[in-house]
Structure 1
Amino acid sequence: MVVIRLARGGSKKRPFYSIVVADSRYARDGRFIEQLGFYNPIARGGEIPLKLNLESLDAWVAKGAQLSDRVKTLAKQARKAA
């Protein structure tokens, strides 16, 4: 099954997440099909906290990809901001 989920990056105590399309059998931070954006939960000042390509997201959902719970919330935030 293809899922759209967060892949963790960054360093210890400084998380940074990539929003990726991946096969559910792959490791969380492992191989992925496409990167759709990023999420920085501790963005400060002029940093961008969320960037998401909504057109690609909609295309993958139309193909049958499932969204993780957190990505659903982030997509809702991105649509509201756009």
Structure 2
Amino acid sequence: MSLKIRLARGGSKKRPYYTVVVADARSPRDGRFIEKLGSWNPMLGKDDANRVVINGERIQHWIAAGAQPTDRVLRFMDEAGLAKREARSNPEKAKPGKKAEERAKEKAAKVEEAAAAAE
């Protein structure tokens, strides 16, 4: 049985509230879980102490038992000092798309034409 430490969504529409749970990887997101390990309330401010609450001792227990945290939970663990998450970098994602590049070329050409006409 593969175990995951992941988020289960609660709360009403447009008012999310997540619980950090350990569950079988095959169970649904909001379905059956083994144990509740903490919570995350994204509606609170980033500087609020109650935004992310996790039980570090139990998380360490489940990791020792073979549970794998999801990326978001690993971020929370990194902030709490329980694990190390390597920063990811995708420089290709920041580049503009083909249409944006074409628009930029057209705009530059219009600026050059206007400057030539002004002289």
**TM-score calculated relative to the size of structure 2:** 0.63
Greater relative contact order (Cα < 8 A, sep 6+): 1
Alignment of 1:12-51 (within 5 A): 12-44=13-45, 48-51=50-53
Question: Partner amino acid for 1:68?
Answer: T
**TM-score calculated relative to the size of structure 1:** 0.89
Counterpart of 2:63 in structure 1 is 61
Q: Any stretches of 5+ residues in structure 2 without a counterpart? A: 83-119
The alignment's C-alpha RMSD in Å is: 1.7
Q: Any stretches of 5+ residues in structure 1 without a counterpart? A: none
Higher helix fraction: Structure 1 or Structure 2? 2
Question: How far apart are the structure 2 equivalents of 1:3 and 1:46?
Answer: 27
Greater than 4 Å deviation, 4+ residue runs: 44-47
Identity of matched residues, %: 50
Against the structure 1 CA distance between its residues 15 and 28, is the aligned structure 2 distance closer, same or farther, given a 3 Å change threshold?
same
Which structure has the larger Rg over C-alpha atoms? 2
The alignment covers a number of residue pairs equal to 80
The answer on whether the counterparts of 1:5 and 1:71 sit within 8 Å (CA) in structure 2 is yes
Higher strand fraction: Structure 1 or Structure 2? 1
Counterpart of 1:5 in structure 2 is 6
